[in-house]
Amino acid sequence: MANSDKNIVITPNIGQAGLPTLALTGQGNIPISLKVLDDAFGTISFQTSSGTQLFSVNNSTTGSIFSINDLSGLPVIDVSSEGNVDLAPYGGSVRVHGHNYIESANLTVTAASAAAIVSSNNGYIHFEISNNSQDFITNTNVMEINTSGEFGLRIKKRGILWCFVSHDIITSGSSSYVYITFKVNGTARGYHLITNTNGQWDGFTASQCFKVNSGDIFSIQMVATDITNVDRGDWGKYQFLFHAV
Q: How many CA atoms lie within 13 A of 197 on its CB side?
A: 20
Residue 118 or residue 193: which is nearer to another protein going by CB? Answer: 193
Are the CB atoms for 1 and 27 separated by under 8 Å?
A: yes
**By CB under 8 A, how many residues form the interface with another protein?**
64
Q: In angstroms, give the least distance from the CB of 127 to another protein.
A: 21
Under the binding rule (CB under 8 A), the answer on residue 76 touching another protein is: yes
Are the CB atoms for 178 and 227 separated by under 8 Å?
A: yes
The binder of another protein chosen from 21, 185, 208, 228 (CB under 8 A): 208
Residue 87 or residue 116: which is nearer to another protein going by CB? Answer: 87
Under the binding rule (CB under 8 A), the answer on residue 71 touching another protein is: yes
Under the binding rule (CB under 8 A), the answer on residue 189 touching another protein is: yes
Q: Which string of DSSP letters, residue by residue, matches 81-92?
A: TTS-EEESTTSS
Are the CB atoms for 196 and 178 separated by under 8 Å?
A: yes
Under the binding rule (CB under 8 A), the answer on residue 115 touching another protein is: no
* Site map (CB under 8 A) of another protein, residues 20-59, x = contact: ----xxxxx-xxx-------------x-x---x-xx----
Residue 81 or residue 130: which is nearer to another protein going by CB? Answer: 81
- Radius of gyration over every alpha carbon of the chain, rounded to an integer in angstroms: 29
Under the binding rule (CB under 8 A), the answer on residue 190 touching another protein is: yes
CA 162 – CA 183 distance, rounded (Å): 13
Are the CB atoms for 99 and 140 separated by under 8 Å?
A: no
